[in-house]
Structure 1
Amino acid sequence: MRKNQHQITGGSMNRELAVFVDQTTWPLPPELPQFPPTFTAGSQSFALNIPTLLLTIGYLTTPSHASGVSLSEFWAWVRYLHAIADDPDLRLTPAFFELDAHQKTILSDDFGMGVPIYWLMDRLQLGPIADGRYFIDRIAACVNATTLKPKKRGPGKSPDFVARDSTGIWHIIECKGTQTGGDYRKTQLGGLGPPPTGAVAQKRTIVFPAGYAGQRLACGLQIGVQGGKHASSLRVIDPPADEKFVVGPEQMIYADDAIIRAASARSLRLAGFGASSAAMSAPGGATPRSRPISGRYERMRRETVAEKQARATEELKNRRDRAAFTADKRRYLGREIEFDLPAPIVVGKRIVRSVRVRYGVGVDFLGQLSNHPLVDEPIQEVDDSTQAVKERTTIDAGRYSARMHVGEAFVSEIDLRA
């Protein structure tokens, strides 16, 4: 192998991941939630596909609501191709394991979100996924509720993700990642206290009514290094914790609105429709929490809404200027980007020198959205096309590629190219 070439492995982009599901942390029947029939208690092995993991990381780290540019939309997560060691199980190369503390934290957070959500997508038949913080802010604005702004860390932090599955059941997922070791993972997952700590305290910040509530998971990824004693492992638990933000049965219409907007806005941003994404995620003003007020601030809010609507309308009017492509016989508009890798990687007999990434939003979805790009009422009551976002999120892996679908509304693809 030539100098500066990184070997992925002999013909496979998969890595084995050790998973442990602690069934003892679930409540005993008849209490809910019940242990999922699609879960296997105890230790098990999971084949994790690297390109699919990269797509998942890129999708999850793109915020539902953001101003400006997010690096995760472009190249930051592609560099992780060089982070994966040439081992049959999931490990980091020593160079990435020895990054400075700030960069190690970013990598641990990214992998700590991407790996468990990837593992859960099929097992819970997940559909749209929303950032927990966005979800709380949007519902609070819809019901005119006064809530404490979620903290960025600690017990008051919102859970990482809220997800709705294909049957209409809602799940709360808190994700942790560390390169420090098993003892630190235990700290991250937390305990009952009092007061409750770590993921135990965060994952039930949002509580759904009976008949809608699903799993309340805390997932901890310990990331191993090449040559180290332990490979990477994922631990999944369901401990109880205090209830804080309660969504009542009469508010579920706003829960649907929040998660549809979150998934749609993220998809629009990735596909290059930034103005439409901003209008979708925060139709009432500058932030998802914006709502009608009084005095001069209300005038400023209305001016912000009008400006966002004008930008979104113009962007959707010119949507045909975007890159057009077909995936699974469906038509999409968005963008296509090809990156030269910092150094080639070897996958089997192929020397990969670049990566092509495509993001697209369905043509029909964009057409319907162009009729009313900015409405503050529940979006599913106005635009039937947004129901596509509530369908399953699916992932498919090829030998040198991967693809993610959010229903028929959004697609992302990654191809490793010679």
Structure 2
Amino acid sequence: MKISYQYKIEPNKEQSEKIDKTLEMLRYQYNYLLAQRFDWYEMNRCPIDRCPLICHLPELKEQPNYYNQKASLVQLKIDRPWYKDIHSQVLQEVPKKVEITFDRWLKGDVNGKKSGRPRFKSKGQYKTFTYSQFKRHHFVNNRITLSKIGDVKVIVHRPIPDGFDIKTVSVTKKADGYYVTLSLDDKTVPTIKPDFNPDNIVGIDVGLIDFYVASDNTRITAPKHLRRAERKLKSAQRKVSRRKKGSNRRKKAIQILGKQHKKVADTRKDFHFKTANNLLKKYDVVAAEKLNIKGLVKTRLAKSVNDAGWGQFISILSNKAENAGLKVIAINPNGTSQECSSCGHKVKKLLSQRMHNCPNCKVTLCRDLNASLNIKARGTHALKAQLMSL
């Protein structure tokens, strides 16, 4: 079982300067290694899609990859001795990030989906570095020892569970300070809950009016965190726009704006965690729609969809279920609102129609409740198929 715990740290002035300096040097190296790959790509790709029978082929240069870029870090420390102030593991994570970013652009991820062309990081955009190996004894009580930085105070708001080993430690700079994220692992925790009950299942239909409507007819109103904070965000954004570029007052205004946005994001995430926790306390299986969120954010509902944060909620729900030995099943959403949950008859209706009235079996109920019942039925069928295949 793998989980992540994040704690806020309180470095002193000297340690804060070391963290900032490390992030800035890593940013320079990231941009340099990314530029190497772009140079190779532009020099070795053919600018046209067809050639004459006789043509000159330029000499192909060695393609930059993770291993030769990682090996170049030895010479980097010779040419630029100040890079010795960065731990070797932290520095080796940079070519790994470049490799992942570049491959997602050219090859795509595990599902074949490609990302956009990688961008160079401007000042302040490189915000995280990682120690890929970490010893448990370096984190004792409320102090954590970060190599090349020092012994840093940690605000431990919850203890690490017994039996878990710390695999990696990431240091992140956010608008309101610095944080460490601990990646924890315990292989002794069972992947399936001992008293797992496949019949204890619920279907949920997410929406913009109600955050979700469950098949047991419980519903949670969408909190609309961004909408509620819009006035404060607009005021903070206006202050940034009025300040002179490059001035200290503008930097302070940007920091205040960043804190406002972080507060909205943290409030939304807290709501998602509590909502997921309440669902998993009652049910062993949760069936949810597999929505095309990237497509939805291209519509006029983009702002409301992003404010709801369905993708983050489903991700949190899936992770918590996996760690608890429970299940979340992704369901195809096509037709869940149109089909009658009682007889299966298709009843076409516009998005503005909030009630489901079936002319075949005379059932009348809330449109979202009807969809959640269909999701539950599909989830039950999918779960039985999964259990039979085991």
Same fold, TM exceeding 0.5? no
Higher Rg of the two aligned structures: 2
* Structure 2 length-normalised TM: 0.26
Q: Could you say which structure has the greater relative contact order, defined with CA pairs below 8 angstroms and 6 or more residues apart? A: 1
Q: Which has the higher helix share?
A: 2
* Structure 1 length-normalised TM: 0.25
Q: Which has the higher strand share?
A: 1
